[in-house]
Amino acid sequence: MNFRHSIVTRFALFFTGLIVFSILLSGFLIFKNASTVITNYSKERLLHTSELAEKSFQAQLTEVSNDILLIANSPTLKNFIDIDSKDTRQYLEDFFKITLENKHSYFQLRLLDIENNGQEIIRLDKKGQKVFKSEDLQEKGNRDYFKEASTLPKNEVYFSKINLNEEYGVISIPETPTLRVATPVFDKNYVKIGILIINVDLKSLYQSLGNILSDGLQLYLIDENGQYLYAQDQDIRFGSQLKTNQNFYTNYKTDLENISSNTTHFIKLNDNVSSNNYLSFTKKLTYFNDTRNMFLVSMIEQNKLLQSAQQVGVNSFKTMLVICLFCILVSYFFTNYFSKQIKQITKAISIYEDNNSKDLKLPTHRKDEIGTLAKTFTKMKSRIDKNVDELNIAFQKEQHAKQQRDKFLQNMSHEMRTPLNAITGLTQLLSKNSPLPNQIPIINSLERSAQSLSGLVYDVLDHQNLVEGKVKILNKPTNIALLLKGIHATYQFEAIQKGLKFNLDIDENLKNSEYLMDELRLSQIVINLIVNAIKFTDNGTVQVKASVIKAQGIIENLEIKVIDSGIGILPENLDKINERFFQEKVDITGRYGGYGLGLSIVKQLTLLFNGSLNAQSTKGKGSTFTVLIPLIKDVSTKEIKIKDSNKYILPKLNNTYTVLHIEDDLPTVDLIKHLLNFDCIHLIQISKFKELQNKIETLTPDLLISDLLLDNNNLSSSLSNWITTKKITCPLVLISGMEKEIMNEISPIYLQKPFDINVLRDLVFKILGANEYQAPDFKNIYKNYDNDSKKITKVLSLIENEFTIYNDRIKKTSVSKNQQEWEDIIHKLINHIHNLNLNSLKKVLPNEIKNISEAQIKSIQTIFNYYGCCIRTEKNLLNSSMDS
C-alpha cells in the first residue's frame, strides 16, 4: 500500500488530542499542588486534635487512678478494715459520699469482699446530685473486673473496657458510658481482703472531646471490633451493646488490620453510606498495662478539605473547556469527511449479531485502510457464519445429552436408594426387636453391608457433583478409630473368602481423640482403596494403617496407608496417579482393566479435604496408597447425650389419625407398615397411580407420606397441583431417592432415602400430636443464638436432656408427695414454659402435689414425650439444612 493512500496522513486528531492533553495536564498539576498544601495543613489539624483528645483521656485515667489509690490507702478505710464497727462503717460511708459529691464524673463507689465471692460490703450510688447508700448488696465474683482486680498487687489499678452501664443485664437509663476502676485493698498484715471499685461516667470526657473539634473535623473512639465508644452522633455509639448494628469498619469500608497497621498513621477512608472520601488520622490508645486497646480516629471530608482548591480548578476548567471545545470542533469537521466510510463498516459489524448486514454495501474497492478493513471483515464474516452453524448443532447435541444424563442420574438415585432404604430400615427394626444372641452378629453384618452399599451409591451419584465442584466437606466430631474399625469389619469376610489376611493397625492417638471430620467422605476414600486392594490381590495380605503425624509444628495430619501384596502398577501409570489433577478420564490400564471410578473419587475427595494421595508400587509385588488429610481436633463442648432408654419414647395419642402412604416399592411398603403400627394410626397404603387419582378426590387424611415416583409416574407436578387446588390440605412428608433440592420445591418436609426410622417416627408423631398438644415455639432460641444452627442444636440437646430429668423427677415426686420438691420443679420449668410457649404443659401442672392423680401424671409424661419428638425433629431439620 502506497503511503499516499494512508488514511493516517489525512487526520489531524493526534495533534488535537496532544493540545487538549497538554491543557488538561497543566490544570491538573496546578490543582494538585494546591491540594497538597491544603492536605498538609489539614494533617496538622488532625494530629493536633488527636493529641488533645489523647491528653483528655489520659488525664481522666490519671485523675481516677490517683483518687482510688488515695481512698485505698486512707486512714478511714484502714480503720474500717481493722475494726468493723458501726462508727468506722459510718465514717467510711461518709468518706465515700463526700468523694462522690465532689467528683462530678463518679456515680458509684463500692467495697467488695474477696473471701465471700465478691460480696458488696458498702455501695454508694449517685443519681443527679443525690448520693444514697444501696441496701441491695450483691455478689460480683463472676464479673471480669472482680476476677482481674483480685490478681493485682498493692497500689496497682485495674481499668475496664468502656461500655454502657448495666444492671442485671439491662442497660441503665439514661445510657451512661462507663469506665470501671478498681484496686485491691490490704489489711495491716498485707493480706488482700477486698476490692475497691469506682464507676466513672465518661460523659464529661465526651463533652471535652466535642469541645476540641473545630469546623469540619470529626472524632471517633472505637474498640478493636469497630464499635463506636465515642462519636458526636449519640445514635451510633455502642452499636454492639445496643444491637443497632452501627460499626465503624462497616460504615467506612475498613478493618482492624488497616486501622492498627501502625501505632499512628494517616489513611484514607470511604463512607459506605454517602460514598464520601475522608482524610483520617488514627492513633492506638492503650491502658491498663497495654491490655486494653482503643483507636482514636480523627477525620475530615476531602470534599470540604479541597473546596477552595476545587473552586480554582472549576474556574480554570471553564477556560480550558472553551479552548478544548474549539480544538475538537475544528478536528471534527476535518475528520468527519473521512469517517463516513468507516461508519459504514462499523455499522455492518454492530448489526452483524442481528444478521441484518447482508445487504449493506461495504467499500471494498478502496485502496486505503478502509478498503482493507472492509475486505477483511467480509472474509471473517463468512468464516464466523460457518463456524456458528456448526457450534449450534454441537450445542444442541450436548444439551440433549446433558438432559439425558441428568434424567438418568435422577432415576438411578431413586432406584438405588429405594431398596437400600428398605434394607437399612428393616435392619434397624430387627436390631430393636430384641434379637437372639446368635442373630446379633448376623444383623450387625447386614447393617455394615448396607452401609457399604450406601457408600457405593454415594460414589456413583456424587461423582458428577465432584467433577462439577458441587460437593462440600461437612465436618462433625468423629472418632476416626471407630469409623475405621467398622469399615474393617465390613470387608473382613470378603478378604477371608479370597484367602487374604486383612489387618488393621490404628494409632493410639486416634483411639483416644475425636476430630472434626466428614465421616461419609472419609469412608468413601478408605472403602474405595480397600476394595481396590482386595480386588487386585490374589494371595497374601491387605493391611490398613492409620496414624497421626505432625507437620509444621502443631499442625496434625491423618495418614492412612492401604498396603497390598497384589499385582502392582506399571511405572507410567504410577506417574499418572500421582499427578495432582488425576481423573478417571485418564486411560490407565495397569491393573487388568484399569482402576475405574473409585480411584478417581478417592483422588478428588482427597483434594477436597486439602489433602494428598500418593501411590508407590513394584510390579508383581504390591502397592501402597497413602492418603494425607489435615486434622482439626474437636475442642467444642460435647453435645449432651440422652439416655437410650428415654431417647425415642413416643407420646400416646388419644385419637385415631388417618395416614395415607403412597409407595410402589413393596419392601418399603412393608417397612412403613411396621414403623407406623400403632393403635392411634390408621394407615392406608396406595401403590397404583390410578387408585391414587381416585382416592385423592375422596380421602381426607391427617398426614400424607409419599414417594415422587409411583407406578412409572413422576408425582412432582401432580402433588404440586393437588396442593394448589386444595385437594391436599394436610401436611405432606416426601420420602424419596430424589435430590433434596427437587423435594424441597414441593414440600419443606422431606426425608431422603435411606433414612433413619426413628427420624420418621418422630416426624409423624410430631405432626399428628399437634392436633392434641401445642408444639413448642423455638423462635426465641433462634433469635437468641442468631440462627446459628450448631449452637441451636446444642441448646436443643440441653433442653431435651433437662425435660428427661424433669419427667423422672415428676414421677418420683408424685409418689413422695414432697411439695417443696414439686415447687422447685415448677420454678425451674416456668422459664421453659414462657420461652417455648409450652401452654399444654402449663395447663396440666397443678400447684400442689398432694392431690395429683395417676391420670394427671400420665398426661404430663405424654406431653414431655411429645416435646421430645418435636425437639428431635427440629434438630434433624437443622442437621439436614447444614448437610445441604
User: Confidence band (pLDDT; 50, 70, 90) for 661?
Assistant: very high
Structure-model confidence comparison of residues 27 and 530, the more confident one: 530
Q: What is the mean pLDDT of residues 331-360?
A: 63
Q: Which range is most confident: 405-414, 521-530, 627-636?
A: 521-530
pLDDT at 57: 92
Q: What is the mean pLDDT of residues 640-653?
A: 66
Give the CATH number of domain 472-631; options: 3.40.50.150, 1.10.10.10, 3.40.50.2300, 3.30.565.10: 3.30.565.10
User: Confidence band (pLDDT; 50, 70, 90) for 640?
Assistant: very low
**Order of strands across the sheet with 217-223?**
228-230, 217-223, 292-301, 277-287, 264-270
Contact 573, 592 (CB under 8 A): no
pLDDT at 188: 87
Reply yes or no on whether the pLDDT at 583 is more than 60.
no
Q: Which of 222-226, 267-271, 539-543, 861-865 has the lowest mean pLDDT?
A: 267-271
Query: Domain 213-305, what fold?
Result: Beta-Lactamase (3.30.450)
Reply yes or no on whether the pLDDT at 469 is more than 70.
no
Reply yes or no on whether the pLDDT at 835 is more than 50.
yes
Domain boundaries, the chain: 73-205, 213-305, 472-631, 779-883
Q: In 247-289, which residue ranges form alpha helices assigned H by DSSP?
A: 248-251, 256-259
pLDDT at 105: 92
Q: Burial of 25 by CB count in 10 Å (0-12 exposed, 13-18 middle, 19+ buried)?
A: exposed
Q: What is the mean pLDDT of residues 497-503?
A: 89
User: Confidence band (pLDDT; 50, 70, 90) for 519?
Assistant: confident
Q: Which long-range contacts (CB under 8 A, 24 or more apart) does 583-588 make?
A: 583/467
pLDDT at 352: 64
Q: What is the mean pLDDT of residues 164-183?
A: 87
User: Confidence band (pLDDT; 50, 70, 90) for 354?
Assistant: low
User: Confidence band (pLDDT; 50, 70, 90) for 657?
Assistant: very high
Reply yes or no on whether the pLDDT at 62 is more than 60.
yes
Instruction: Using DSSP bridges, classify how beta strands 500-506 and 540-551 pair: parallel, antiparallel or unpaired.
Output: parallel
Structure-model confidence comparison of residues 304 and 405, the more confident one: 304
pLDDT tens for 229-258 read: 999 888 899 988 888 888 988 888 888 888
Rounded to whole angstroms, how far apart are CA atoms 839 and 638?
31
pLDDT at 438: 67
Q: Whole-prediction pTM value? A: 0.46
pLDDT at 399: 77
pLDDT at 308: 62
User: Confidence band (pLDDT; 50, 70, 90) for 470?
Assistant: low
Strand partners of residue 713: 710
pLDDT at 255: 85
pLDDT at 449: 65
Site of grid cell 475427595: 605
pLDDT tens for 276-299 read: 888 888 988 999 888 899 999 998
- Evaluate whether 73-205 and 213-305 have a shared fold: yes
pLDDT at 455: 60
pLDDT at 220: 92
Q: Which of 82-86, 363-367, 780-784, 838-842 has the lowest mean pLDDT?
A: 363-367
Q: What are phi and psi of 612, to 5 degrees?
A: -145, 150
pLDDT at 626: 94
Q: What is the mean pLDDT of residues 91-113?
A: 92
Query: Domain 73-205, what fold?
Result: Beta-Lactamase (3.30.450)
**Side chain identity at 173, as an amino acid letter?**
I
Site of grid cell 433442653: 799
Q: Which of 200-204, 322-326, 658-662 has the lowest mean pLDDT?
A: 322-326
DSSP 362-410: --TT-SSHHHHHHHHHHHHHHHHHHHHHHHHHHHHHHHHHHHHHHHHHH
Structure-model confidence comparison of residues 569 and 149, the more confident one: 149
User: Confidence band (pLDDT; 50, 70, 90) for 182?
Assistant: very high
User: Confidence band (pLDDT; 50, 70, 90) for 55?
Assistant: very high
pLDDT at 15: 67
pLDDT at 106: 92
pLDDT at 8: 46
User: Confidence band (pLDDT; 50, 70, 90) for 593?
Assistant: very low
pLDDT tens for 408-451 read: 665 665 566 667 666 776 777 676 666 777 666 666 666 666 66
pLDDT at 578: 63
pLDDT at 589: 43
pLDDT at 88: 93
Average pLDDT, the chain: 82
Rounded to whole angstroms, how far apart are CA atoms 318 and 324?
10
Reply yes or no on whether the pLDDT at 174 is more than 80.
yes
pLDDT at 406: 62
Q: What is the mean pLDDT of residues 740-751?
A: 87
Reply yes or no on whether the pLDDT at 61 is more than 90.
yes
